[in-house]
Amino acid sequence: MNVVTEPENTPCAVLLRACEPISPLEALSQNRYKKNYTELSSYQKKNFSNGPGKLTKALAITKNQNKMTLLQNDFFLFEKENDTTPHICVSARINIDYAQEYALKPWRFFEAQ
């Protein structure tokens, strides 16, 4: 899934390739596996949304959302639960040794636990 951050013809986007499922686990599990979260194996939980196709399936994102704005009320990525600012970490992407000079670029962002 890409989130384009600039006007048309200005190349700039955020590519969302994976996420750690937090809430609502039951709904995400039904989207992804058609099972309750408590019924999933440890393998299924580990590989729940660790790739673009798995992520979009868990979030029930389809081609119908293509070119939608994130500024409308019926489509959003998350709801802010509190006023704390997350601590965002940056690192090189993982498992892309083949990417030569881009393998060590700091293009991976994640929230510290």
Alpha carbons 65 and 6: distance in angstroms, whole number: 18
Residue 36: what pLDDT? 96
Rounded distance between C-alpha atoms, residue 92 and residue 26, angstroms: 32
Q: What is the reported pTM?
A: 0.70
Check residues 49 and 82 and name the one with the higher pLDDT.
49
What is the average pLDDT across 65-69? Answer: 82
For 108, the token pair is: 């991976």
Judge whether residue 85 has pLDDT over 70.
Answer: yes
Please tell me the predicted confidence (pLDDT) of residue 76.
62
Position with higher pLDDT, 56 vs 5: 56
Burial class of residue 84 in the structure, from the number of CB atoms within 10 Å of its CB (0-12 exposed, 13-18 middle, 19+ buried):
exposed
> Of 17, 11, 3, which Cα lies nearest the Cα of 93?
17
